[in-house]
Chains A and B, each alone.
Chain A
Amino acid sequence: MAGPDLALLLSALAMLLLRAVGLLVAGALRPEHPLVAWAAAVSQATLAAFVALAVAAPGGAAASVPLTARLAGLGAGLLAWWAGRGRLLPALLAGLAALVAVRGFG
């Protein structure tokens, strides 16, 4: 088996293990249990950090989008979300359109 294939297989097994350990540890805990509340806080904080990094300091190909375009996309998306009373699809499209437009002017 080639290196990338083996790395993929090992990673896929590790992903199943991570999820399985989470389900096992949760067992019959109720949603209010402190361990569940801690896990939810860590998950949300991870997601927030992921978004902050994707906007402020992305890696890979996304880094080729200028910071002004990324900020414009985020700002326009949030503004459209607020104006649309929380509707996600128009907000997502508005954010992407703003990103593409600002990058085009850059």
Chain B
Amino acid sequence: MTNPNNVSLNISHELAFIDSHALNIPTYRVLNEQGGVSEGATVPEIDQATALKIYDTMRFIRALDERMQAAQRQGRVSFYMQCLGEEAAVTASAAALDDNDMIMAQYREQAALRYRGFTLEQFMNQMFSNEKDLGKGRQMPIHYGSNELNYMTISSPLGTQIPQASGYAYGQKIKHINKQSGELDSEIDNITICYFGEGAASEGDFHAGLNMAAVHKAPVIFFARNNGYAISTPAEEQFAGDGIASRGVGYGIKTIRVDGGDALAVYAATKTAREHATKTGEPVLIESLAYRLGAHSTSDDPSGYRSKDEEASYRENCPVARFRTWLVAQGWLDEQEDEKVKEQVREQILDALKVAEKVAKPPLEDLISDVYNTPIPSLQAQYEQLKSHIKKYPDAYPITAGRIK
């Protein structure tokens, strides 16, 4: 073994430490904060239909977030999380993927799911944990998932999806590996994108997942949403290095930092990252910078830890307005028509909410199904016992008492 330590072989006689911010990582940007094309930037190739679908998704998510935040305040749903300020980062990255690529999100990426085609009714059924929810009413609101749309069901524990994304992507690669040479013998058709926040990047699973993807060459795009806050903890109390991007270099992963408020920059970066992953089978790290304009969740109140002035300064830099300005300048979006659609979307959301909240809760059998592929004997016995108990005291269990077979 000529290089047992697996490092750059580069002897120096100068005693010098490397500065923690030595990389001075730049932020890739196409659109300026007003929505015009930045001087010196090249507009990436994007067709009108894709651009409008990105905008349509952002417009929908903004309306959904606004409506559901209010619904939580009215006590109609227990919990909600807005994407406010990060719509471009999530939507444009999802738009750069193939529909069969797996999305493993953290929880604030409803826009990616919407881009894939999750219907308004499906969103509502999940949030009201009714019997039509694909997740059978088992998880808190916003824990969406859809096998059909290749969107892995959300898990509350932070960062657990990161090593899983490495494993999933490795699985996507296996059939493209030549058995004799062990090298890729064809372009990988589908990859995985993995979203997480800068706070989750402090979890051990982040280290485990990125290191394994790098070592085993898994075609996964790690998309770090550095939005400045983990609930109340600002990024400066989360890490001391140069953001999350600097770590990618340490793991041996191709890395880029991008302006997360700029849909075109995010789209171009993710598209290029995907090409790299499909051609080489290697992971890519994208760090997106966008400010979390809303609260962490409906259980959080940011006024306790950040100023109104700070929020206001970022509100001016709205990612949706920025992209909208560009679309209008392109002649691809009519402003009056846009206002009309916004109003229609709001109405549709309110109507769908009213329908979903009246749909029945899941049946009692969904309490025990899916723990295993089939209930084990002890659980089946517990279920029979529970049914007898409910039949004996039906008034205490109004949701299920009338429906027990």
Is B truly associated with A?
Answer: no
